[in-house]
Structure 1
């Protein structure tokens, strides 16, 4: 009898332990992946922490809150062609819903030209991605096949993203760079997305404004019906670019064709302007670029000029009567925050990273200048040289994007979570998830109640 009772007790004990273990396994499986604690050997456990210089840009530092990055294997995910798209978009924290009705009603088009820095491209694409927009990715013909395959795999997970139907071997300051944008414009006009304006980017850019802020800016009274092509009449010291014939050494550089070989005048008696290679253009203007004889003739004339993307868009935008033209625009339109070496001491106090081709590759100490300027985008970044600068700006930008959302924020959209110091005794990361899961208006109502 005693032996029977002992056997029964052992059985019940084993049964109870089995139920508890199975329950724990079920709960852990049911808990969203993004909220599960990191294991010692998991990718999140090896995340590079935010630098001390980043604390000023992340909320809660004064209350002992630390931010823990959850995203460390960006390049590895992109290179893994066997991943399911649902896992990729979740684990790389892509935003999968429009964050406001205003943004949904004003879709944007993006042209992104890339050839290297896969991790930086993925992080840029994630930062600008919204499901209502459309994205044309131009992968340089000289990029490695592994790189192109990774970009193709990533793009295939989004029905509003595609690779340019024609790839150029892009040369710095060459016509091929301009042609790459034109190729994407042709593809974008066939898109079913009713995009309003198109913006061009390179792989070492990163956004400063959120998508909502871009929409606000482009719909402002100043820019609602205008193209943004900052520039002025071609200065005397820039005339050699279009007065002398040049040739493109494919994939390398651009040189004069020969000593003193001059070009003919621009077609249609056009006044040549000089400006940035970056723009924000209306859809009607893109139609003009692709169909107008004047635009076509200027494109042909530009083939043997130096850095034609710095005169082509701004020259066309100064033709009277062209859709969205801005005749007296000058350098208006704050598209890029760039620290040029020759502007040191005037426009900025110097590069805290290092210069490449007289452009600053940003370090962490450059971020205050970038954020205070509040340009649309900043250029340029390197993921290897100064990774802490990109980490910090990326998290600052994502915080802003989610705080502006008018829809509940999904936990998978968080790039980092708040960890309250042990002395404070509260669970910061889960509190943050609950707070962000409220809509913008619900959060404002709670703030007002606390103030009142």
Structure 2
């Protein structure tokens, strides 16, 4: 009986010890989370204060979450092997402008930016207003390290099948035409894109079009006519962002324009962009397109395929690239 009591006592002692250890561990985890939360709040407040003061800084996600370590711009450029000097005279004489529309995944955006970055180019970054404050602050701090890159002066809540996608790009276009960089072509991208060619290879390809816009597309296929035949409504927040089709028929396109469908990602000349921002034909087409579905897939190509518009290609199939 004495041995049985001793075993029972040891068992009770072990159970008690395990419970105490588990409880202490839980307390330590909770305190650690609280400390990190307070640290993150302090870091975020510090970053916002630096933005307001116009100071140059750079935080990455690990810094915001776990430490007070600051990565300087110089460290960022060196560690990630950014090109900081022009590589050829040809590239110097043919600067490009980029529009990058993003809403998430800072690391993916940073890889894209590093791949297309050249000191002679200029970059406008549009951060979707749906993105969180932390993401915006991270992008803002990152861009402070590059004198030829900046955030769009006006941000939009972007619904990708809606007109807000074009509006976001138009906001960047206004900023880019005001830039001191005399860029030759504007290329639009999103945060999940990645280039397959070098900057030099890209400009050599663009040169073959001899100052013409590049907007791949075709006449409206039968199965896509509904996009511009019926009126659509763009719903913006607070929880859901989507485009809904109605049964209301749209009016004919303005100025007797023929609608084409094609890629939303294009390469446009400065003259064409000035036309888009100022000419009544483009302004009216934009207004008409506001209640269409995915208007960025017809807006650029429609303008570029209609004659009388700067650097347009009304008959792109007949246009041959000479090497």
TM-score range, shorter chain: 0.7 to 0.9
1:296 has 2:283 as partner = yes
The whole-number CA distance in structure 2 between the counterparts of 1:274 and 1:289 is: 17
Residue 242 of structure 2 corresponds to 253
Residue 119 of structure 2 corresponds to 131
1:306 has 2:293 as partner = yes
Give the alignment's TM-score, normalised by structure 2.
Answer: 0.76
Residue 120 of structure 1 corresponds to 108
- Secondary structure of 1:215 counterpart: helix
Contact 1:74 1:122 in 2 (8 A): no
Distance apart, 1:91 and its partner CA:
1.5
Residue 214 of structure 2 corresponds to 228
Question: Of 149, 157, 166, which aligns to 2:154?
Answer: 166
Residue 266 of structure 1 corresponds to 253
Gaps spanning 5+ residues in structure 1: where?
A: 1-72, 334-452
- Secondary structure of 1:103 counterpart: helix
After TM superposition, the structure 1 = structure 2 runs for residues 276-295 of structure 1, keeping only pairs within 5 Å, are: 276-295=263-282
Contact 1:271 1:315 in 2 (8 A): yes
Distance apart, 1:238 and its partner CA:
0.8
Distance apart, 1:107 and its partner CA:
0.2
Contact 1:78 1:150 in 2 (8 A): no
1:204 has 2:196 as partner = no
1:275 has 2:262 as partner = yes
Question: Of 292, 303, 310, which aligns to 1:323?
Answer: 310
Aligned-residue CA RMSD in angstroms?
2.2
The whole-number CA distance in structure 1 between the counterparts of 2:163 and 2:63 is: 34
Gaps spanning 5+ residues in structure 2: where?
A: 1-58
Contact 2:275 2:310 in 1 (8 A): yes
The whole-number CA distance in structure 2 between the counterparts of 1:149 and 1:277 is: 28
> What number of residue pairs does the alignment pair up?
258
Change (3 A) 1:125 1:332: farther
Distance apart, 1:83 and its partner CA:
2.5
Contact 1:124 1:205 in 2 (8 A): yes
Distance apart, 1:253 and its partner CA:
1.4
- Secondary structure of 2:134 counterpart: helix
- Secondary structure of 2:249 counterpart: coil
Residue 54 of structure 1 corresponds to none
Residue 189 of structure 1 corresponds to 177
Distance apart, 1:321 and its partner CA:
2.0
- Secondary structure of 1:181 counterpart: helix
Residue 139 of structure 2 corresponds to 151
The whole-number CA distance in structure 2 between the counterparts of 1:271 and 1:303 is: 17
Contact 2:63 2:70 in 1 (8 A): no
Distance apart, 1:280 and its partner CA:
0.3
Give the alignment's TM-score, normalised by structure 1.
Answer: 0.55
Distance apart, 1:250 and its partner CA:
1.4
1:141 has 2:132 as partner = no
**Partner deviation per Cα, 1:218-241 (whole Å, 9 max, x = no partner):** 112xx1211000001111211110
Distance apart, 1:76 and its partner CA:
4.2
- Secondary structure of 1:209 counterpart: coil
Residue 107 of structure 1 corresponds to 95
Residue 163 of structure 2 corresponds to 175
Change (3 A) 1:271 1:90: same
Change (3 A) 1:183 1:78: farther
The whole-number CA distance in structure 2 between the counterparts of 1:237 and 1:294 is: 26
- Secondary structure of 2:194 counterpart: strand
